[in-house]
Amino acid sequence: MHDVLIIGAGITGVSIARELSRYDLKVCVLEKEIDIAMGTTKANSAIVHAGFDAKPGTLKAKLNALGNSMFDQLSKDLDFHYRQNGSLVLCFDENDLDHLNQLLQQGEQNGVQGLMILDKAALIEMEPNLSDGAVAALYAPTGGIVCPYEMAFGMAENAYSNGVEFYFENKVLDIKKSNAGFTIKTNKGTYESKLVINAAGVHSDEMNNLVSDSKLSIIPRRGEYCVFDKEVGSYVDKTIFQLPTKLGKGVLVTPTVDGNLLVGPNAVDINDKDDLTTTQSGLDDILRRASLSIKKMPSHAIIASFTGLRARTEADDFIIGEVSDAKGFINAAGIESPGLTCSPVIGIMVKDMVVDMLKPQEKECFNPIRKGISRFTELNDEDRQNLIEANPAYGNVICRCETITEGEILSAIHRPLGAKTIDGIKRRTRAGSGRCQAGFCMTRVLDILSRELQIPRTEVTKFGGESKLLVGKNKEDI
Amino acid sequence: MQEFDLVIIGGGPAGLAAAVAAKEQGIENLLILERENKLGGILNQCIHNGFGLQVFKEELTGPEYADRFINLVKEKKIRYKTNTMVIDLSKDKLITAVSKTDGILTIQAKAIILAMGCRERPRGALNIPGARCAGIFTAGTAQKFVNIEGMMPGKNLVILGSGDIGLIMARRMTLEGAHVNAVVELMPYSAGLTRNIVQCLDDYEIPLKLSHTVTNIVGKDRLEGVYIAPVDENRKPILAEEEYIPCDTLLLSVGLLPENELSKKASVKLSPITGGAEVDEGRETNVDGIFACGNVLHVHDLVDNVTEESYIAGKAAVKYLKGLRIQSDRIEVKAKDGARYVVPKYINPRNIEKSLDLSFRVKDIYKDHYLSVYFDDSRAIHHKRKIMAPGEMQTVKITSEMLNAHSLCSEISIVIEKE
């Protein structure tokens, strides 16, 4: 019997898991996919929002600025990349200046610090590559950028090191209320837990609806993005939003914390929660709309495109709390933007609920520190030399575009909750994230995975399931 | 820190030929840096034949062609380091490399030859929409799986792009027991060599769908199929005529990009058209003492051409080291009407002994057109060519007599003319 069972190893689930790992509790996380951060967490704008966007009074508004303020310390404790680059909301029409001011006031009401309106001259001085169409902007110095899956790995690994169990490829099929709590049936087995936390992302309505008559409905909302080569990664320095108008919410242009440029997303409601396809019309649309913000869209430098699904509810707010007709079942549902920014606070909120219910002891041995993978590119030559002397695998460059060494890949595989797939390696180390998109390193990474996990090469997958890369040996069908 | 007269970055066909030429010209203190575990570069996975007809007057496989040069390098006792990746390069010719055995290696070179080759354009460069499932590979990655590792990346294929690697892989996959449904090419003509279309597609009855493209990719975990559609004259797909082809693998052969990230670090000026350095007749870049040859300079059709070009760069680097290169009153060479680019971009006439070959590509298919070379407004060459296609590199020889006759000319241009 577990004390707490968390469904979902996205950023919400692992943030909650890490907070709970401070306590003397038997906690586990069930994840239907093969790895952490495989849903919405892996495909979003990767923005730490300042907090001016949410309507005052909503949970989103309450948690956003607070969440934002936690990133600096968290990124140090958990060793993930975070940069407070600031954000700008561009206004393209003098008639919309009132809206911009309203946004500023809303932000101040939400507790966002340092907001100011910049006139055109100040704006261009700050961001010389902005389009001439921008007449003014709201500047939020506290806006930031982060790598969402790197952050989730940090949270999850730290939770694991502090005693939380993780079970992957466990898809929850049924949840039954029992005397002592809940019985959770998955495709792999049965789990018992006093409390259940629903952090199932776009599937959180289905989990809720297994136990409650107060039904939820998540409408997956597709957002498409294009990623650009690092050669244009500093085309803008701030995260560039567009002031929402009656024509739509606008798309953003932002540097990523890893040094690429990111453009997107659109917003299209779809039916299929597993549909992560990109569309020609969607990609054309985001590039066209983002062109309003910057002088020249560097379309020649696109290296990848992707789709993420937002867990949108009709309530248009986070749904966090115990379900009234299923005591002990806590929802952390409908976590869409600014869910990534709020995730550390959501972790604390849910932890407080659990502490209230189970009254656990705090652990004396909780260690808040997690050390990430040493990134070869970020070291000076002396440190690189020392690293290679200690472990020659750091002298073997596997991914040429991002200069990722075998040492980093081995660390990604053998660390707590290590990588089991090509994408797992990519998200932990960036091998294959560069301009050639794994054309060079795929065969190498595949060989390393096969060797280290002691599985045949035909069993190595891109991201679990049937996503195998090799189908057999030459000539075996002849 | 180590010091070398000449360091060659890349031990593929370009680097090997440049090294051999430099050694033959009397440079002893030279070094080849190669990131793979053996010399030879991409030739090692090109196990098909067709290499060497120009250079050796016989037909060799890729590994055989590479071996000829690897043996020369060994005979001539040219130093090389494998498993060594260059990670930084300055315009002062300071090289930083890394390997398991040497750790961080810093080398000061007096001259450098860039011979890093090229890489394949990935799916993202085309922004093909659809699923991001397993089963989508560049043709070169698939070639490595099949030819080096003996493993099949798929059994039922569609190939997008009719570049030579795509054509070669259509045949290879067929020979290894896979079914190739079609090779799909956006342009109305193939980017590959005619001989490859005949020998790799026609001989195996693999359809080549010109003026078509992949419009959507379908699959959850592994690829299940692709949609293809014909394109109009603006290369926009005609979606009403979309067709679904079930397949487990999509190979991309949609172009090669010279790999110049290191060159950029050394402030080497690159051509926006070729993606390679702007060089003079000795393949010297704008950075003093840094040369470039092979596919890092511009993408070649034949390794034989790479070899010839690399001999030029190797010899010129030696002249540079001996202080014998003359850099004065250089003339710019321009690709005009119908010509897409020309290499070299600059000529220092006093470095030309007898003649000089200009390599260029055309923008479209030209049948029975004239290739003309102008020295300013004066037409010095006017040759009728039966066919000139973008997929086949053209060359034209200009002589020192021509250069002498137009000693005051300010530019040389290549023009494709109807008459």
pLDDT in tens, B347-404: 999 999 899 999 999 999 999 999 999 999 999 999 999 999 998 999 999 999 999 9
pLDDT of res. A247: 65
Cβ-Cβ contacts under 8 Å for B388 (sequence gap 6 or more): B362, B365, B366, B369, B371, B394, B416
d(CA B139, CA B161): 9
Q: Residue type at B145?
A: F
pLDDT of res. B328: 75
Q: Are A12 and A63 in contact (CB under 8 A)?
A: no
pLDDT of res. A443: 96
Checking if the pLDDT of A20 tops 70, the result is: yes
Q: Say which DSSP state B407 is in.
A: T
Class of domain A376-459 (CATH, top level) = mainly alpha
d(CA A266, CA A248): 9
Taking an 8 Å cut-off on Cβ atoms, the answer to whether A280 and B129 are in contact is: yes
d(CA A389, CA A195): 49
Is residue B127 domain-shared with residue B250, that is, in the same domain?
Answer: yes
Checking if the pLDDT of A327 tops 80, the result is: yes
Last residue of a domain, one of B254, B269, B298: B254
Taking an 8 Å cut-off on Cβ atoms, the answer to whether A472 and B152 are in contact is: yes
Cβ-Cβ contacts under 8 Å for A445 (sequence gap 6 or more): A398, A399, A409, A422, A425, A431, A432, A438
Last residue of a domain, one of B293, B308, B325: B325
Taking an 8 Å cut-off on Cβ atoms, the answer to whether A277 and B130 are in contact is: yes
For chain A, the domains span: 83-143+220-310, 376-459
pLDDT of res. A174: 98
Residue B109: both structure tokens together: 């070179």
| A229 CA: distance to closest CA in chain B (Å) | 10
Nearest CA in chain A to B119: A436
Considering only CB atoms, A283 lies closest to which of B85, B104, B129, namely B129
Q: How many domains does chain B have?
A: 3
Among B81, B88, B104, B215, most A C-beta atoms within 10 A, so best to mutate, is B104
Query: Quick one: which of A44, A62, A114 has its CA closest to A318?
Result: A62
Is residue B116 domain-shared with residue B18, that is, in the same domain?
Answer: yes
Burial A384-397 (b: 16+ CB within 10 A, else e): bbebbeebbbbbbb
Q: Per-residue pLDDT averaged across A405-413, rounded?
A: 98
Q: Which residues does chain B have with pLDDT short of 50?
A: none
Last residue of a domain, one of B219, B238, B254: B254
Is residue B212 domain-shared with residue B282, that is, in the same domain?
Answer: no
pLDDT of res. B124: 84
| pLDDT, tens only, A119-150 | 999 999 999 999 999 999 999 999 999 999 99
Q: How far is CA B402 from CA B41, B342, B379, B406, in A?
A: 38, 18, 10, 6
**DSSP E strand boundaries for A142-259:** 144-146, 165-167, 172-177, 182-186, 190-198, 218-228, 239-242, 252-255
pLDDT of res. A120: 96
How does the average pLDDT of chain A come out, rounded? 96
Q: How far is CA A394 from the centre of its chain?
A: 28
Residues of chain A in contact with residue B215, where contact means CB-CB under 8 angstroms, are 280
A414 classed as catalytic? no
Residue B277: both structure tokens together: 């350095």
pLDDT of res. B407: 85
pLDDT of res. B391: 86
pLDDT of res. B189: 92
pLDDT of res. A244: 87
d(CA B7, CA B112): 5
Q: Per-residue pLDDT averaged across A244-250, rounded?
A: 75
Q: Per-residue pLDDT averaged across A93-121, rounded?
A: 96
Taking an 8 Å cut-off on Cβ atoms, the answer to whether B87 and A397 are in contact is: yes
pLDDT of res. B96: 98
For the domain made up of A83-143+220-310, give the CATH fold. Answer: D-Amino Acid Oxidase; Chain A, domain 2 (3.30.9)
| pLDDT, tens only, A80-93 | 999 999 999 999 99
Is residue B242 domain-shared with residue B277, that is, in the same domain?
Answer: no
Percent of residues, chain A, with pLDDT higher than 90: 97
Q: What is the torsional sign of CA B187, B193, B194, B197?
A: negative
pLDDT of res. A83: 98
pLDDT of res. A245: 76
Nearest CA in chain B to A388: B103
Q: Are A468 and A460 in contact (CB under 8 A)?
A: yes
pLDDT of res. A268: 93
Q: Give the residue numbers spanning the domain of B398.
A: 329-419
| B149 CA: distance to closest CA in chain A (Å) | 9
Taking an 8 Å cut-off on Cβ atoms, the answer to whether B153 and A470 are in contact is: yes
Q: Per-residue pLDDT averaged across A306-325, rounded?
A: 94
Residues of chain A in contact with residue B129, where contact means CB-CB under 8 angstroms, are 277-280, 282-283, 305
Half-sphere exposure of residue B173, counting CA atoms within 13 Å on the CB side?
Answer: 35
